[in-house]
Amino acid sequence: METKEQLFPDSELIQNKRPIKITEKQEWDFHEAFAKEIIKGNWSNSDLADIIADVSQINKNDNGYEIAKELEGKEATYDIDTQFIEFLDDFGYRKDEILKANVKLWVKAHNPQPKFLVGTELIINKQLYRGEYEAGKIIYITGYAKDRALYVFHSDKSHNGGVILPYELIENHCSPKTKE
H or E element that contains 116: none
List, for the chain, all residue ranges whose pLDDT scores fall below the cut of 50: 1-3
The backbone torsions φ and ψ at residue 152, rounded to the nearest 5 degrees and listed phi first, read -110, 130
Q: What is the pLDDT of residue 17?
A: 86
Q: What is the pLDDT of residue 32?
A: 98
Query: Could you give the CA distance from residue 166 to residue 161 in angstroms, rounded to a whole number?
Result: 15
Q: What is the pLDDT of residue 141?
A: 96
Give the ranges where the chain is alpha helix by DSSP (H).
10-14, 24-40, 48-55, 64-71, 82-89, 91-110, 167-173
Q: What is the pLDDT of residue 87?
A: 98
**pTM of the complete model beyond 0.85:** no
Q: What is the pLDDT of residue 8?
A: 57
Q: What is the pLDDT of residue 1?
A: 46
